[in-house]
Amino acid sequence: MGADPLSRLPHGIAFRFVDRILEVIPGQRVVALKNVTGDDPHLQGHFPGDPLMPGVLLVEAMAQTAGLLLPEGSFAVLAQIKEARFRRPVVPGDQVRIEAEHRTGLGSLHRFTLQACVDGTPVAEAEIVLAITTPGDRGS
């Protein structure tokens, strides 16, 4: 997976929700970390005085983690979210451990199961489908 697996993510730093890779079995399983801090820009307005990581960004972090299991050079977009469950809020100071497992692939579609935990306690889980596409191919 190369010297810096995070460099495979096509996202700019401002929209990268994976901080570190702990474990990877190429094409099968990856474990990543997201450190949630009070400095995260999205927490400034969600919610003032009582910040929490938006669920949609937690799903994005999970999708970015899953994307690390796609073939080298792939560019993928989120095609489907199934069975997403949020167990408790993620707040500044939390370190989110994200585990992604590649379940199936058919053509350009790849299905993953994901779980996000803080201190060993599940905070979210989902099944997602990523579609491999060409950068800039967003349709009309």
**Position 139 in a domain:** no
What lies within 8 Å, CB to CB, of 120 at 6+ separation is none
What's the whole-model pTM score?
Answer: 0.91
Q: Which CATH number does the domain housing residue 47 bear? A: 3.10.129.10
Q: Assign residue 78 a region (left: φ > 0; alpha: ψ between -120 and 50; beta: otherwise).
A: beta
Instruction: Return the HEC string of 40-75.
Output: CHHHCCCCCCCCCCCHHHHHHHHHHHHHCCCCCCCE
Question: Which of the following is catalytic: 11, 46, 102, 110?
Answer: 46
Per-residue pLDDT of the chain (140 residues; tens, 9 = 90+): 455 777 777 787 888 999 999 999 999 999 999 999 988 888 888 888 999 999 999 999 999 999 999 988 888 999 999 999 999 999 999 999 999 999 999 999 999 999 999 999 999 999 999 999 877 665 54
**Position 104 in a domain:** yes
**Position 123 in a domain:** yes
46 is catalytic: yes
* Count of structural domains within the chain: 1
